[in-house]
Amino acid sequence: MSSPAPSPDSGALPNAVKGILCMITGSAIITLNDTAMKWLTTDGVPVGQVMFIRGCVAIVLVYLTMRRLFGRESLRVNSWKAQLARGFLFWLAAFIYNHALHHLPLATAISLSFVAPLFVTALAVPLLGERVGWRRWTAVLVGFAGMLIMMRPGGDIVLIFATLPIIAAFVGAVRDILTRKMSATETSASILMVTTVMVTLTSVPTAFAGDWIMPEPTHLAIMVAAACCMVLAHYLVIESLRLAEAGLVVPFKYTQLIWGAVIGFAIWGYVPDIWQWIGAAVVIGSGLFIFRREITLARQRR
C-alpha cells in the first residue's frame, strides 16, 4: 500500500524525490571517495596502505551506524563462506580500481567502470542459470562497443591502464552475482559489516609488503574523510532504494560521471575528449536499457 501524498502545506518532499536526492548525493559522495583515493596515491601513499587505514576507520563507522539504524541482530551472519568470498572479491575489485584511479583521469576511470552491469548480465547465464534474451545480449554488445570507443588506440588513454577499471568491473560483477545469491539469507547490514572487515584485513599484506610510509597529518585527515564518505554513500544508496523504486533512482547513479568530470577538471585540469563522452554515453545507455528490460521482465513474471 502506497503512503499518502504529503499535503501541499506540509512542505515535505515526496519519497520519490527524496530517493532521487539520496542517490544523487550518494553518487557525489562516492566520487569524493574516489577523488581522495586518487589524491593520496598520486601523492605517493601506496594503495594498500590507504585501503588499510581507511578500512580501520570504516569498521568503527559501519558497526556503529548499522547497529544504531538496524539493531544488533541485523549483523548476524548465516553463511560465513559466502560472506568471506564476497569480501575478498570486493577487496580485489577495489584494489584494482584504486590503481586505475592512480593512472587514469577520474572521469575516465569512472566511465570505464560502468561496464559492470554488462558483465553481470553476461555472467548471469553461466553462474545463475538465467536466460538472457536477444535484446539484452544486443545491449551488452553495444555497451562493449562503447567501451572500445573510450579505449580507442591512438587516443590519450594508455591501454594497459584502461584495462584496470574494466578488470575491476568484471570482478565486481562476480561479486554482485554472489550478492544476489546471498540476499535470501544475509542482511544488508551484515554484508556491509563483514565486507568492511574483510577488505581491511585483506589489505594488510599489501599495506606492509614494502616500506611503510608514515602518512602526513593531511593524508590521515583525507583517509578519515574517505572512510566517512564511503560509509555515508552506502547508507544513502540503501536509503534511496528504501524510499523509491529501483527503476526510478538507479539511473541517477550515473551522475557520478558528471561529478567525476567536474572534480577532475577543477583539481587536475583534465577535460575528457568527445570520444570519451560518446563511449560513456553508449555504455550508460546500454546499462540503462538492460536495467529497464530486467524490470519489465520481472513485472511480467508476477
pLDDT at 212: 87
| Calpha distance 154→227 (Å, rounded) | 37
Phi first, then psi, for residue 132 (nearest 5°) are -110, 120
Q: What is the mean pLDDT of each run of 10 residues along the chain (302 residues)?
A: 46 82 96 97 94 96 91 93 96 97 95 95 90 94 95 76 96 93 89 95 92 91 96 89 84 95 96 93 96 87 74
Query: Domain limits of the chain?
Result: 15-301
pLDDT at 211: 82
DSSP string, 94-152: HHHHHHHHHHS-HHHHHHHHTTHHHHHHHHHHHHH-----HHHHHHHHHHHHHHHHHT-
For residue 235, the surrounding DSSP H or E stretch is helix 217-243
How many other C-beta atoms lie within 10 A of the C-beta of residue 294? 19
Sequence-separated (6 or more) residues with CB below 8 Å from residue 267: 35, 39
pLDDT at 210: 80
pLDDT at 12: 63
pLDDT at 168: 98
pLDDT at 153: 65
Sequence-separated (6 or more) residues with CB below 8 Å from residue 299: none
